[in-house]
């Protein structure tokens, strides 16, 4: 009998070598590691293109928002002004936001000097960084191609181009929120409490940038960690508590510093009712934004024509005349990607990172867009830049999931619906500015229809796959890209800039109870340091790109603000007034009502100017007694009549009391066409 050891060994014939597809299809079939090597040059090109888009001809906008530019100038002249975000180096009053964004921009200006480029460039660099971090975040859960699509979508969103070329706090806010999303994704991989705590730190500093708006992403971050972190439910809860503690510490240290600092030796907290940063967070920049009141006005109650303040509230607000062309180009595709992606991943394990990514970006989008749509307080269309990373993330992941499962009808229907909806909606958006590339809307609509049909019936035909991919990309990106390029080609000033082919902005609000979210838009330059393109190149008087006919305030250099009597609005100072204030040596060269007028004077002269009443003259600062004390000490050279918001709000009479006292005790003179009172002997 033959034993087992004596049996002959039967060798299997060698398997046939795998059939390799043609080169261009082989590239599409590569695994994640090979894809990463293949798209790395494309990722670098994306960042280089973003840098070109955000930095090209940047200084044509002069100082952009002069409210924040003046605060940055003050920060270069006084460390205390840098710490507190003071509007003036004499530290009379702060801006109406926490100083997080000013800390970064002022540090940049301290190193490289204060000028138009150092005012605007930090935001451009933040935008480039945000695009790169979004790419890395989506790449970790859906691969490099999805990350590339997401990053490109963010870079080419019109409102993102607007805000990453402008000196409002939103640029740093977006960067910190995207960084927090990256930390959350890293925490999901191994249930890392450390990475989750870093997300809390990022949101904490985002709170110090724009307060309550930074917290809108927390529901999404919390939900995704509770769902997908690979550890027990108890440990997930403990990790979230630790991250909340990190958030409180990273934001609370500064709130505590301001509250504990003696009020007599720091500036008044602009926008607050009782000189408290905590009250500012809970009141004007908190519940007041959501519900109205607390100095907030012009929001949802403003009616559908009030596009500078968001138009009417409701579920369609993000698609309306105020927000539509800013943010909604890919919004239908993102919503379809969310629904279709969740369906296609419904059987995935609890810890599946792809579905977790959908929950993260989807929760971010739904919560933030929902709050923006229904909030009744002050809101401006440029706030929508906070939605751009979530939209980009959903579009990138939606394309990845649908293409990976394209053999399934549901996946093909999802992708086809994304491109068709984008083509149809972008056709509508481009039609709102009928004189801008009138042919583009037809190209977008046709590309969307062709791409949708190709996805449904041509996915099996290898020879047409590159054409299908090209049609998808054109239909998704052409409208937004055209509007983004048009936005970059325009100058932007004022407190309420808008994107699109027409340069437009609104100045700050007037007196009474309405305050804008940002500040004035003066472009006068400090003596001897005029920014490139800041004189005569501002386009704030153009018609709004939303088609509403809103025009910004005139800001021609060297002109008086109002035909006589006062500074008015956010116009630049006359040459005579600039020369007068430039020769002063007191703590404050002058005092005037409202931050807009004060900021323009500071930028024109390089001197400190007291903004009586803060933004629009509504704050009880300085009081009449404090103002008298400063005058007696010889700290203020001139009082400039007029300004902005001199009447004050109900119960806030500081500006009118000071004006009455000055008029009763000092002699008026006319400088240029402005009424001026000399306060020193």
Asked if pLDDT for residue 556 goes beyond 90, the answer is no
Asked if pLDDT for residue 435 goes beyond 60, the answer is yes
CB 341 within 8 A of CB 401: yes
Q: Compute CA 244 distance to the chain's CA centroid, rounded to the nearest angstrom.
A: 24
Distances (CA, A) of 238 to 191, 215, 252: 11, 20, 21
C-alpha span between 595 and 580 (Å, rounded):
20
Phi/psi class of residue 606: alpha, beta or left (left: φ > 0; alpha: ψ in -120 to 50)? Answer: left
DSSP-derived 3-state class of residue 314: coil
Asked if pLDDT for residue 522 goes beyond 60, the answer is no
When pLDDT is cut at 50, 70 and 90, the band that residue 618 belongs to is confident
When pLDDT is cut at 50, 70 and 90, the band that residue 297 belongs to is low
Q: Which helix (H) or strand (E) holds 590?
A: strand 588-593
CB 494 within 8 A of CB 65: yes
Nearest C-alpha neighbor of 512 from the set 622, 613, 645 = 645
At residue 407, the pLDDT reads 87
pLDDT mean over 510-522: 35
DSSP-derived 3-state class of residue 496: strand
Nearest C-alpha neighbor of 599 from the set 142, 167, 190 = 167
Q: What are phi and psi of 179, to 5 degrees?
A: -60, -40
C-alpha span between 523 and 449 (Å, rounded):
46
458-479 pLDDT tens trace? 666 666 667 777 777 778 888 8
The percent of residues in the chain predicted with pLDDT above 90, rounded, is 63
At residue 239, the pLDDT reads 98
Nearest C-alpha neighbor of 200 from the set 177, 169, 173 = 177
Nearest C-alpha neighbor of 66 from the set 528, 576, 561, 597 = 597
Q: Which helix (H) or strand (E) holds 575?
A: helix 575-582
pLDDT mean over 20-44: 59
pLDDT mean over 596-601: 92
Of 72-81, 446-455, 565-574, 672-681, least confident by mean pLDDT is 565-574
Nearest C-alpha neighbor of 173 from the set 213, 144, 121 = 213
C-alpha span between 177 and 361 (Å, rounded):
11
CB 531 within 8 A of CB 116: yes
Asked if pLDDT for residue 531 goes beyond 70, the answer is no
Q: Compute CA 98 distance to the chain's CA centroid, rounded to the nearest angstrom.
A: 15
Q: Which alpha helices (DSSP H) does 191-268 contain, by range?
A: 193-210, 218-228, 233-260
When pLDDT is cut at 50, 70 and 90, the band that residue 358 belongs to is very high
220-262 pLDDT tens trace? 999 999 999 999 999 999 999 999 999 999 999 999 999 999 9
At residue 351, the pLDDT reads 95
Structure token digits, residue 89 = 């180096």
C-alpha span between 627 and 635 (Å, rounded):
10
Sequential DSSP letters for 24-51: HHHHHT--HHHHHHHHHHHHHHHHHHHH
Q: Rounded to the nearest 5 degrees, what angle is found at the Cα of 499, between the Cα atoms of 42 and 306?
A: 150
> What is the distance between the terminal CA atoms of the chain, rounded to a whole angstrom?
127
At residue 459, the pLDDT reads 63
At residue 402, the pLDDT reads 93
Structure token digits, residue 302 = 């403003």
At residue 194, the pLDDT reads 97
At residue 284, the pLDDT reads 79
At residue 568, the pLDDT reads 36
DSSP state of 618: -
Q: Which residues contact 457 (CB under 8 A, 6 or more apart)?
A: none
C-alpha span between 104 and 169 (Å, rounded):
10
Distances (CA, A) of 553 to 80, 203, 490, 503, 547: 32, 35, 16, 12, 17
At residue 104, the pLDDT reads 96
**Interior/surface letters 106-126, b for 16+ CB within 10 angstroms, e for the rest:** bbbbbeeebbbbbbbbbbbbb
The percent of residues in the chain predicted with pLDDT above 70, rounded, is 79
CB 676 within 8 A of CB 573: no
Asked if pLDDT for residue 119 goes beyond 50, the answer is yes
Which has more pLDDT, 232 or 651? 232
CB 557 within 8 A of CB 534: yes
Q: Which residues contact 633 (CB under 8 A, 6 or more apart)?
A: none
At residue 310, the pLDDT reads 75
pTM, rounded to two decimals: 0.85
CB 345 within 8 A of CB 351: no
Asked if pLDDT for residue 33 goes beyond 90, the answer is no
Structure token digits, residue 51 = 């840098």
At residue 123, the pLDDT reads 97
DSSP-derived 3-state class of residue 131: helix
Asked if pLDDT for residue 301 goes beyond 70, the answer is no
């Amino acid at each position: 009998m033959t034993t087992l050891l004596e049996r002959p060994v039967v060798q299997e014939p060698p398997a046939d070598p795998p059939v390799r597809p043609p080169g261009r299809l082989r590239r599409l079939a590569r695994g994640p590691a090979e894809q990463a090597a293949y798209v790395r040059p494309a990722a670098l090109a994306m960042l280089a293109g973003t840098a070109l888009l955000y930095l090209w001809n940047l200084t044509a906008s002069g100082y952009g928002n002069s409210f924040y530019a003046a605060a940055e100038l003050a920060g270069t002249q006084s460390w205390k002004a840098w710490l507190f975000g003071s509007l003036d180096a004499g530290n009379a009053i702060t801006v109406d936001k926490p100083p997080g964004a000013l800390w970064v921009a002022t540090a940049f200006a301290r190193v490289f000097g204060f000028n138009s480029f150092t005012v605007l460039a930090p935001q451009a660099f933040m935008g480039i960084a945000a695009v790169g971090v979004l790419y890395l975040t989506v790449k970790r859960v859906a691969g490099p191609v999805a990350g590339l699509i997401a990053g490109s979508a963010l870079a080419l969103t019109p409102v993102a181009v607007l805000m990453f070329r402008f000196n409002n706090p939103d640029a740093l806010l977006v960067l910190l929120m995207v960084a927090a999303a990256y930390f959350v994704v890293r925490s999901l991989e191994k249930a890392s409490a450390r990475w989750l705590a870093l997300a809390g730190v990022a949101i904490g500093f985002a709170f110090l940038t724009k307060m309550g708006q930074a917290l809108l992403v927390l529901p999404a971050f919390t939900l995704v960690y509770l769902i997908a972190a690979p550890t027990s439910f108890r440990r997930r809860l403990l990790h979230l508590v630790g991250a909340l503690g990190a958030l409180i510490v990273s934001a609370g240290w500064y709130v505590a510093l301001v509250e504990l600092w003696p009020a007599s030796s720091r500036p008044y907290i602009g926008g607050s009712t009782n000189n408290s940063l905590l009250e500012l967070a809970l009141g004007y920049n908190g519940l007041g934004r959501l519900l109205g009141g607390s100095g907030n006005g012009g929001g949802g109650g403003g009616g559908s024509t009030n596009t500078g303040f968001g138009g009417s509230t409701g579920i369609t607000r993000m698609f309306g005349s105020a927000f539509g062309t800013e943010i909604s180009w890919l919004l239908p595709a993102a919503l379809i990607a969310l629904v279709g992606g969740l369906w296609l991943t419904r059987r995935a394990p609890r810890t599946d990172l792809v579905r977790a990514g959908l929950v993260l970006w989807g929760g971010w989008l739904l919560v933030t867009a929902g709050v923006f749509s229904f909030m009744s307080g002050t809101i401006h269309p440029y706030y929508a830049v906070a939605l751009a990373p979530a939209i980009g993330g959903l579009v990138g992941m939606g394309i990845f999931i649908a293409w990976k499962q394209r053999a399934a009808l549901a996946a093909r229907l999802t992708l086809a619906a994304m491109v068709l909806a984008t083509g149809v909606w972008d056709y509508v958006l481009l039609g709102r500015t009928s004189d801008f590339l009138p042919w583009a809307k037809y190209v977008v609509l046709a590309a969307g229809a062709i791409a949708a049909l190709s996805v449904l019936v041509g996915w099996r035909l290898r020879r047409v796959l590159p054409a299908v991919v090209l049609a998808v990309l054109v239909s998704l990106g052409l409208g937004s890209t055209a509007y983004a390029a048009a936005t970059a080609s325009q100058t932007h000033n004022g407190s309420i800039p808008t994107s699109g082919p027409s340069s437009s902005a609104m100045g700050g609000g007037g007196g009474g109870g309405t305050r804008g979210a940002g500040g004035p838009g003066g472009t006068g330059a400090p003596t001897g340091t005029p920014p490139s393109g800041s004189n005569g190149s501002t386009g704030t008087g153009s018609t709004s790109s939303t088609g509403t006919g809103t025009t910004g305030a005139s800001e021609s250099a060297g002109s008086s603000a109002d035909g006589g009597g006062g500074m008015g609005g956010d116009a630049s100072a006359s040459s005579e007034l600039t020369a007068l204030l430039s020769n002063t040596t007191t703590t404050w060269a002058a005092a005037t009502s409202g931050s807009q007028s004060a900021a323009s004077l500071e930028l024109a002269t390089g001197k400190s100017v007291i903004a009586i009443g803060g933004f629009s003259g509504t704050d009880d600062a300085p009081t009449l007694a404090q103002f008298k004390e400063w005058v007696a000490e010889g700290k203020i050279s001139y009082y400039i009549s007029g300004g902005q918001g001199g009447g004050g709000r109900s119960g806030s009479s500081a500006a009118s009391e000071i004006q009455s006292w000055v008029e009763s005790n000092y002699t008026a003179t006319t400088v240029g066409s402005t009424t001026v009172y000399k306060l020193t002997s």
